[in-house]
Structure 1
Amino acid sequence: MLTSEDLAFFSVLTSSKSLAESARKLNVTPPAVTQRLRAIEEKVGVRLIDRSGRRLVLTEEGSLVASYSLVVSEAIESLVEALADRRGAVRGHLRVAAPHGFGRLYVAPVVEAFVREYREAAATLHLSDHPTAMNLASYDVVIHIGEQGPRDQIVTTLAPNPRILCASPQYLASTAPISSPADLARHRCLAIRENEEDVTLWRLTGPSDASSTVRIDPVMSSNDGTVVHDWALAHQGIMIRSEWNVAGDIAEGRLQQVLPDWQPPSADIIAMLGARHGRSARTGAFLDMLRRSLKPLPWRAAQS
């Protein structure tokens, strides 16, 4: 009869590319892994893994055992986490997803500090161009910059994030002056195609809540914000970027705000919480640390 320890071992085995990799994960020798696998196969009376090639290939029976192993492992993890939460213990595996640029600069240091403070916790940080497109149920926290998403989603705002029209001083000095939003249609504009949004329609709010909509014809566009940022620094045109991303460039004179009395819609920095882990002690502790790291806003504090 298979035990929960057998299923936990098999779950590690099936998530590995080789016996050597699973041995490293389990902190044992490869022969010990082979011996344990043979013992499990003897218990069930069938071969679970085809070991004739370099990669581990599950047999049909092995796939069945793997599916049950995953269910049991998740159930045990959930039980242990529920008991830990009852006593307020911060433990378990924290899983965080975040955008590449913001995640690298402002989330990664907090993940490192979290694991350093809470020795019973581990962490995984997944950086993605589109973190909200990922399976939210697989993560404790998904950091997102922009609209809040589905209404039934658990969301908490971490920091305000105005977006700014800007270009390099060299570009602005070499072209016609910009005195109103309508002038933008006659300028070289750079667009970021991050989702299905119509990125060629720029909406701006000005003095006394006046509004203006401008249809631009981008001279260059990309789905990578860093690329567009680099193009603006290379004097190629006007872009809209988050304050956190350009505050340093504006303070150092590499970029200059365009039409400072007119602002694009803000894109606040929010945390979307997985339903299964939204109230866990580790999620709460991590969010507390992340909020503290963003007060005062580091990109503004650096300029003061």
Structure 2
Amino acid sequence: MNVEHLKLFVRLASSQSISMAGQELGLSPAVASSHINKLEESLGVRLVHRTTRKVSITAEGRAFLPYAEEVLASVEAAKGAVGVGHSNPTGTLRVTAPASFGRMHLIPAMNGFMQRYPELNIEFRFSDSIIDMVEGGFDVAIRAAELKDSSLVARKLAPDRRIVVASPAYLNQFGAPEKPQDLVNHQCINLIGLDNWTFKTNEGVVSVKTSGRLRCDNGDAMRDATTGGLGISINSIWSVYKQLKSGELLEILQDYPLAMEANIWAVYPSSRLIALKVRAFIDYFSEYYGQPAYWENELNDVNPS
């Protein structure tokens, strides 16, 4: 079984296009099609449905895909273990991440990362939706949500502490809530579908159903609306630390922490061996964010304990 044929099949499963998958590997459409034919002949099954308009993966192809990915990951890890290419990762690393976090805390770090690994190409997809890693052909996913897929391996990169914030203009006009229950009398800006805010109190956990005239499906938009005085919102420290530092936003209800334990995770498909490029990415960003994360440190410098 040819490793290059496996690479092509994995890319094809993601792109749903033989010509596009071949182009990414420097192959003409004719050569790419020939490689897929040879892989199917070696296995004795049809992996791809071909029509004049598109291609799709067969049931056998979907069953074969995770094994092909594991073989490729093992080959890359084995090369690194014996010093092939001086143990430097090569090829293309495909990463998916939440849009806001990606723009704020991945892109600014890429100059240093790409200088450290000059033979590695990076392909990002930023989306606030949870994307299927295997189906999308991604090597790493950055997640700031509850992890439910047991077939994935996760490594914590940084805490994702979340707080309740409002602008000075809003608080001057409407006052600050003194306890969580007071939020029912305020304009609250929610991410769509997340209307219940849960707090830790001396009496136990308290859940408040909040409401307001504005709802958003994007964290950046919610933060900016809050900064503009349109209401109160829950935000991650990594999203609002600059506004907190400048005084554009203020933390409120500090005596009632939110009842959520969130973290920033790097997630990758389960495999006996982790690919060298995946390890390089995770190690770099774990070091880059630091312990505690740099966004927490910036606030500590402003408000030392």
Amino acid at match of 1:145: A
On the 8 A contact 2:73/2:274 being kept in 1, the answer is no
* Aligned residue in 2 for 1:103: 102
**Is it true that 1:300 corresponds to 2:299 in the alignment?**
no
On the 8 A contact 2:241/2:298 being kept in 1, the answer is no
**Is it true that 1:247 corresponds to 2:247 in the alignment?**
no
Counterparts of residues 130-149 of structure 1 (less than 5 Å):
130-131=129-130, 133-136=131-134, 138-149=137-148
1:85 is displaced (CA, Å) by 3.7
On the 8 A contact 1:141/1:273 being kept in 2, the answer is yes
Q: In 2 relative to 1, CA 58–232 (structure 1 residues): closer, same or farther, beyond 3 Å?
A: closer
* Aligned residue in 1 for 2:219: 225
On the 8 A contact 2:216/2:222 being kept in 1, the answer is yes
Amino acid at match of 1:156: R
**Is it true that 1:200 corresponds to 2:199 in the alignment?**
no
Distance 1:187 1:213 in 2: 15
Q: CA RMSD in A?
A: 4.1
TM-score by length of 1: 0.73
Distance 2:243 2:191 in 1: 18
Distance 1:110 1:232 in 2: 27
What are the superposed Cα offsets for residues 122-180 of structure 1, whole Å, 9 maximum, x if unpaired?
2222111123x323463222111132323553222111121110111111110144211
Distance 1:4 1:158 in 2: 32
Percent identical: 25
Distance 2:188 2:105 in 1: 28
Counterparts of residues 153-302 of structure 1 (less than 5 Å):
153-193=152-192, 199-206=194-201, 208=202, 210-264=204-258, 265-276=260-271, 279-295=274-290, 296-302=292-298
On the 8 A contact 1:200/1:218 being kept in 2, the answer is no
Counterparts of residues 17-166 of structure 1 (less than 5 Å):
33=28, 57=53, 77-78=72-73, 80-87=75-82, 89-91=87-89, 92-131=91-130, 133-136=131-134, 138-151=137-150, 153-166=152-165
Name structure 1 gaps, 5 residues minimum: 44-48, 51-55
Distance 1:248 1:134 in 2: 32
Q: In 2 relative to 1, CA 186–37 (structure 1 residues): closer, same or farther, beyond 3 Å?
A: closer
Amino acid at match of 1:291: S
1:121 is displaced (CA, Å) by 2.6
Largest Rg, 1 or 2: 1
Name structure 2 gaps, 5 residues minimum: 39-49
* Aligned residue in 2 for 1:46: none
TM-score by length of 2: 0.72
On the 8 A contact 1:146/1:266 being kept in 2, the answer is no
Distance 1:18 1:148 in 2: 33
1:235 is displaced (CA, Å) by 0.7
On the 8 A contact 2:22/2:29 being kept in 1, the answer is no
Q: In 2 relative to 1, CA 189–22 (structure 1 residues): closer, same or farther, beyond 3 Å?
A: closer
What are the superposed Cα offsets for residues 248-300 of structure 1, whole Å, 9 maximum, x if unpaired?
11121111111111121232111222124862222222111101111142223
On the 8 A contact 1:193/1:222 being kept in 2, the answer is yes
1:37 is displaced (CA, Å) by 8.6
Q: In 2 relative to 1, CA 23–203 (structure 1 residues): closer, same or farther, beyond 3 Å?
A: closer
1:83 is displaced (CA, Å) by 2.9
1:185 is displaced (CA, Å) by 0.7
